[in-house]
Amino acid sequence: MPAQWQISFDHGHQQRYLPDRHAVLTYVLAIGPKAASQRFEVFAETAAARLADGSPGGRAFALVEVIDLARPGERERLSAELAALGPPGTPAALSAAAPPIAAAQPTPPSAAGPARRQEAGHE
């Protein structure tokens, strides 16, 4: 199963799972103006968590970026990145990596959740 992306928004009350970076940017730009909060936390799937007995314990996600549409120039930056990725399903769009955390996260994540999330029962 290919790695997925997760976005958390509306102060952690809503989350969505998306297949790639292109889908994340498209979703954030489309839903952002309608969301209760302009802040979106973006997580990428990491290696599966292991239980103490070594068996798989579920999927894990790590924070890779915080998108704050209230920040000046943020919409334009996302639109430019989306244009550079090209149409959905192209190799560039599918292989796009998240930006480095230091550059993309000028503000700390909200209190809505930890920087690493696990979902038990999923492999």
pLDDT in tens, 5-43: 999 999 999 999 999 999 999 999 999 989 999 999 999
Report pTM: 0.69
If one compares 73 and 2, the residue with the highest pLDDT of the two is 73
41: domain range?
5-120
> Could you tell me the two tokens for 50?
């292991």
The pLDDT value recorded for residue 108 is 43
Q: How many domains does the chain have?
A: 1
User: CA triplet 94, 120, 48: central angle to 5 degrees?
Assistant: 45
The pLDDT value recorded for residue 3 is 79
Q: How far apart are CA 6 and CA 24, in angstroms?
A: 8
User: What letter would DSSP give residue 20?
Assistant: S
User: CA triplet 11, 12, 14: central angle to 5 degrees?
Assistant: 110
User: Is residue 120's pLDDT more than 70?
Assistant: no
Give the confidence band of 2 by pLDDT, cuts at 50, 70, 90: low
Burial of 29 (C-beta count, 10 Å sphere; 0-12/13-18/19+)? middle
> Could you tell me the two tokens for 13?
């009350």
Residue 36 half-sphere exposure toward CB, CA atoms < 13 A: 7
pLDDT digits (tens, 9 = 90+) for 66-104: 999 999 999 999 999 999 988 876 655 555 555 444 333
Q: How far apart are CA 47 and CA 32, in angstroms?
A: 29
Q: Which residues of 80-98 are buried (b: 16+ CB within 10 A; e: fewer)?
A: eebeebeeeeeeebeebeb
Which amino acid is present at 120?
A: A
